Amino acid sequence: MREQDDALEFMKIGSGTIYSGAFSSIFIGCLLLSYSIQTSADTLKGIRMYNHPSHTRVVLDVSELPSYEVFVLSNPERVVVDLEKIEVVTGFEGPAVDPSGIRVKGFRSARRGENYRVVLDLAEPVSTRSFTLAPVAPYGYRLVIDLRPSLIPPKKPQPGLERNNRRDVVIAIDAGHGGEDPGAVGPKIGKSRVLEKNVVLNISRKLGDKLERAKGYKSILTRQGDYYVPLRKRVEISRQARADIFISIHADAFRNSSVSGASVYTLSEQGASSENARWLAEKENRSDLIGGVGEVSLEDKDDALAHLLLDLSMDANRSASIKLGHKLLERLSHVGKIHKRGLEQAGFAVLKAPDVPSVLVETGYISNPNEARRLSSSKYQDQVSSALFEGIKLYMEEHAPPGTWIAWKREQEGIRYVVVSGDTISEIALRYGTTVQRIKKANDFNSDFLRVGQTILIPSS
């Protein structure tokens, strides 16, 4: 249940959720510590509000970091902040609400037992990101909630305008090796030997073409011809292009020539943690480091906090990479043999971007004579690139970042929800502000029976 909520939240507001959840758990440690030193109760002292062009920042000043929960409700649109076990300073007032051109139009608060609830009434739907800040003069502990306009589209989109402000997702395609580095060298077919660098460049180009033709997608190739690009440079190229995902394509050799089949790799945990250390060592990386994840800069953070933030980013990124890897592997299994059923993990340097989900696809083994023959044929290269394209689409249908045309399209169609134990259609309908009839119609259901793990479409209202 909890996981499903997270998944839906993730779809709507991206990785910010991971921050808020994780942030609150990070600070539980601090909370316990401070309880042992101080005996006075945590107190909400005031609320401030800042209007940026892109978002509204709400800051709650507290004497200690509370356990809290932030959630969004609609009809009418509002954000609720529940603070646990907190007192309120005498004479407490809400923030001054400036009614002109901002997202928050009103403010309410009330005590609920030991807890305190703050409600922000909104002029438009928002997504939220929350985190806590340690004292910095003149401020003490703060709970920060950023409100950004959410992607929920207007009821009647104007034709022709739909794509204007919605970007394409960017797929970085990394053809392995190149130039002086031929990669794996296969048997002679025709006049020359099959070289990995040529096979993977062809597959990469075909994949790039398919993506360019698909609405909502853009591709960049980390190498466009037969030349070598250092591994770190490949990662850098994709980060500079603000790639949403990175796919490195290979076709390697194995000492046993009977080994065949495709495999998909993601970064191993060990690879991720050693990379974390390296990134932190290079201070110049800090300012733009988590730009792709939560717009959190590491520049002004001390080492311990920077380390923690980077860990969170790496974790989120690893789990996104795994999801992507599964989709690719699933599609590749329809084209040919799969070397191993599951994803594999390794410390490959090209997979080490901390904020771009990255996978490495071994399309097959050039050391296997039959596979080398297949891999060198244009037809098979086309099939492999189609499978990768389909896998990317499957992934993006669920995980396209907010602000992209694909995410917008998905919102228009509704939300995809995975049924968990105990769910009923009527309860789901209630939760999403729709009706049993509409859900049944959207999914072509004849009965009320739901299967755990089944994905259902919740039509947008």
Q: Which residues of this chain interact with Zn ion, rule CB under 5 A?
A: 176, 183, 250, 252
**CA distance linking residue 405 with residue 411, whole number of Å:** 10
Minimum gap (Å) between residue 360 Cβ and Zn ion: 8
Q: State which residue, 252 or 423, has the beta carbon closest to Zn ion.
A: 252
Instruction: State the nearest-atom distance from the C-beta of 361 to Zn ion, in Å.
Output: 10
Contact predicate 5/29, CB 8 Å: no
Give 292 or 325: the residue with its C-beta nearer to Zn ion.
Answer: 325
Least distance between Zn ion and beta carbon 184 (Å): 6
- By beta carbon distance, the residue nearest Zn ion is 250
The minimum distance between CB 349 and Zn ion, in angstroms, equals: 12
CA dist 187 and 195 (Å) reads 9
> Residue 80 or 231: which CB sits closer to Zn ion?
231
CB of 178 or CB of 183, closer to Zn ion: 183
Rounded Cα distance between 196 and 371, Å, is: 12
Q: Between residues 11 and 361, which has the closer beta carbon with respect to Zn ion?
A: 361
Strands 169-175 and 245-250: parallel
Least CB distance from residue 359 to Zn ion, whole Å?
Answer: 14
Residue 210 or 250: the one with the smaller Cβ distance to Zn ion is 250
Nearer to Zn ion, 252 or 275 (CB): 252
Q: How far is the CB of 326 from Zn ion (least distance, A)?
A: 21
Least Å distance, CB 366 to Zn ion, is 9
